[in-house]
Amino acid sequence: MTIIEDLLANIDEEKKLNIINSAMKEFSKQSFQSASTNTIVKEAGISKGSLYHYFGTKEKLYEYLEYFAIKIIAENIINKVNWNQQDIFTRIKEVSLIKFNLFQELPYLSDFSLKVFENKSAEEIMHKHPDFPLALYSQLYNQNIDYSLFKDEVDVKKAIDIIRWTIEKCGDEYRRKIAENKMAFDYKAIEKEIYGYIDMLKDSFYKKGEK
């Protein structure tokens, strides 16, 4: 266990998630300078003294959230993806649903992650967090994937970008509607819509009979 991971090691899981969700919510909505620890502790249901007992400084809290965001997303994908799957459409669908379910448990993880890492290169992230699984992104789109399923005239790299953007946008729309209380979380409905997009994209990019 790393030093930063140790910060909340002795806190029960419910309390830990309350602190993480409250802090991610505040940091995703405000700049680091404007983010209020008073708001965080109020929503988390803890005292300000407890927050500083756990983290020491606001900077250390933010650093912990960065570390947690990387770790929880990577671990969920690594442990839950079927790495023997050769169909890129099914692989991307799996990743999208894994992340969607994780974002339901941690509703501000997506916005926080985008805000923290949007202007950072992979090298910058790796330098700050040496245990970041840099090869994971490449593995998702390469490990055991059968590219011969694509039509010969299709640019596979561009096709994969289109597939990924489409599926992730679908997940983003569902998260937004749920967050705005415009719909309830319905895994089956989400799965059905994603399958619909996959069927359309397969028809466009795969050779006939390769579905």
Look at residue 46 in the predicted model and tell me its pLDDT: 94
pTM: 0.75
DSSP H or E segment with residue 156:
helix 156-179
Look at residue 190 in the predicted model and tell me its pLDDT: 76
- Average pLDDT over every residue of 155-180: 81
Q: How many CB atoms lie within 10 A of CB 181?
A: 7
pLDDT at 147 over 80: yes
User: Per the structure block, which two tokens stand in for 186?
Assistant: 């319905």
Q: What's the CATH superfamily of 5-205?
A: Tetracycline Repressor, domain 2 (1.10.357.10)
C-alpha dist (Å) from residue 139 to 2, 191, 192, 211: 25, 23, 26, 22
CA angle 144, 145, 146 (to 5 degrees): 115
Q: Where do the structural domains in the chain lie, given as residue ranges?
A: 5-205
Residue-wise pLDDT for 11-66, tens only, equals: 888 999 999 999 999 998 899 999 999 999 999 999 999 999 999 999 999 989 98
pLDDT at 191 over 70: yes
Higher pLDDT, 50 or 3: 50
